[in-house]
Structure 1
Amino acid sequence: MEKIAIILTDYIKRNTKITKTEYEIYHYGFQVGIELLIFLISALIVSAFLGMIEECIIFLVVFIPVRSYVGGLHLKSFRMCFILSCLALFLTLESVQNLSIPIEIAFILSIMEEIIIFYVKPIKNSNRPVAEEQEKVFGKRLQYILLTLFIINSFFFIFKIYNFLLTITYTFSIIIISHFGGKVKTAQKENKCIKKKMFQYKYWNQ
């Protein structure tokens, strides 16, 4: 993916005067865009195979914006992230098909999950540091997204659209699992950095 992003960015560079910072922005944008496009196409193929395209669209509408603000488990390579994302989609759709729970419980569970998502602190990405003011803006956007999803889910509950409600509920579950998985990975990384610094400190003070 990175090679394609570099080719596209170099093409823009040859035809337009851009700064180094703009080059990096274009490169990052192309890379993320290509990766997202590949995932979307794969998701639609998987959902079409399962006969659950509508549920897949709901999954994507919930998963992509909420996870982008809350954060989650990030792996080192696109291939591993891609596999993990496809697995998350597959597990959600399979759960909707085979793991039935009463609609009232599903609705209450979705509300509890939204509360958890609202109160958890976003995972900070060292590659994309965010200022405190931006964090507040992102927090407000997350509130609006969660409120909108609550209204949509309430509509599904009132009109007994079971599969769609269940899709949102299980998607929230995946987001929460991914978030806390990311928290654990970040904590492990920080602990390694602390141990490394302590070792270096002891080494130089011997």
Structure 2
Amino acid sequence: MVEKIVGHIIDCQIDSGRIKQDEIGVYQYGYTLILERGINIAIVIILCLITSRWLEIWGFLIMTIPLRSYAGGWHADKFWHCAIISNLIVILMLLVISNISIYSKLVYIGIEMIVLSVILLMAPVQNINKPLTLKEKKVYTRKTICIWIIECCLMSVFVIYRQYTYSLIILFAHSIVIIAVLVGKIEEKMKKATN
């Protein structure tokens, strides 16, 4: 569906002379990205309206997206798979924070040490569509670690002030990112083995 809409937009722009044939790929990528992000934002807004958990949902996304962007990991092969999985993860996060409470600082520290270990050993995980140079890998690793440190500091503040819902959101976000990194690394190794 997204491809058809983007194709129609590009055809209209080619017919009107706004874009050239050699620019089609760039415009196709850009329009696809804009449309997919727009659909995801619309779905998130609908979830916020249904659940009235605006702060929790946007907080989770703000903690997840930057870390996931630099750590890399598994990517769905189709947009609608990504949209369904992403929004199911948001719903799962809401269920977790509604039904689980973690008060122990040792649990937070233990889980975050696992997260840091995975980041140091495996991140960033490349995507087939976006291979990284050695220099880019170093930059992505540094940015991943910096984002993780900032988010851990924020989580520590929430724990100190006993705002456990928000500290759990960050912990859940980190867990999801690390699962994506692990699955992405496994997928990367399997593809290398078959080639």
Fold match by TM threshold 0.5: yes
Report how many aligned residue pairs link the two structures: 192
Superposed displacement of residue 66, structure 1:
1.0
Using the alignment, how far apart are the partners of 2:31 and 2:107 within structure 1?
Answer: 38
- Could you tell me which residue of structure 2 aligns to residue 178 of structure 1? 180
Using the alignment, how far apart are the partners of 2:158 and 2:193 within structure 1?
Answer: 44
Using the alignment, how far apart are the partners of 2:57 and 2:110 within structure 1?
Answer: 20
- Could you tell me which residue of structure 1 aligns to residue 154 of structure 2? 152
Any unmatched runs of 5+ in structure 2? Answer: none
Using the alignment, how far apart are the partners of 1:82 and 1:172 within structure 2?
Answer: 19
- Could you tell me which residue of structure 2 aligns to residue 134 of structure 1? 136
Residue 109 of structure 2 corresponds to residue 108 of structure 1: yes
- TM-score, with structure 1 as normaliser: 0.81
> In the alignment, residue 72 of structure 1 is paired with which amino acid?
G
Using the alignment, how far apart are the partners of 2:161 and 2:175 within structure 1?
Answer: 23
Using the alignment, how far apart are the partners of 1:49 and 1:17 within structure 2?
Answer: 41
Moved more, 172-181 or 42-51: 42-51
Using the alignment, how far apart are the partners of 2:12 and 2:142 within structure 1?
Answer: 37
RMSD of aligned Cα (Å): 2.3
Using the alignment, how far apart are the partners of 2:55 and 2:11 within structure 1?
Answer: 38
Superposed displacement of residue 98, structure 1:
0.8
1:186-201 correspondence runs (5 A)? 186-193=188-195
Corresponding residue to 1:162 among 140, 161, 164: 164
Q: Which has more radius of gyration?
A: 1
Superposed displacement of residue 108, structure 1:
1.9
* CA displacement, residues 136-183 of structure 1 (integer Å, 9 cap, x when unaligned): 222232233222212221221222211111101011111111221222
Q: Per the alignment, do residues 171 and 109 of structure 1 end up closer, same or farther by CA in structure 2, a change over 3 Å counting?
A: farther
Using the alignment, how far apart are the partners of 1:178 and 1:48 within structure 2?
Answer: 27
Using the alignment, how far apart are the partners of 1:43 and 1:176 within structure 2?
Answer: 22
1:15-164 correspondence runs (5 A)? 15-16=17-18, 18=20, 20=22, 22-105=23-106, 107-109=108-110, 111-119=112-120, 120-164=122-166
Moved more, 163-172 or 25-34: 25-34
> In the alignment, residue 45 of structure 2 is paired with which amino acid?
L
Using the alignment, how far apart are the partners of 1:62 and 1:116 within structure 2?
Answer: 19
8 A Cα contact 1:5 1:27, kept in partner:
yes
Using the alignment, how far apart are the partners of 1:82 and 1:150 within structure 2?
Answer: 27
Any unmatched runs of 5+ in structure 1? Answer: 194-206
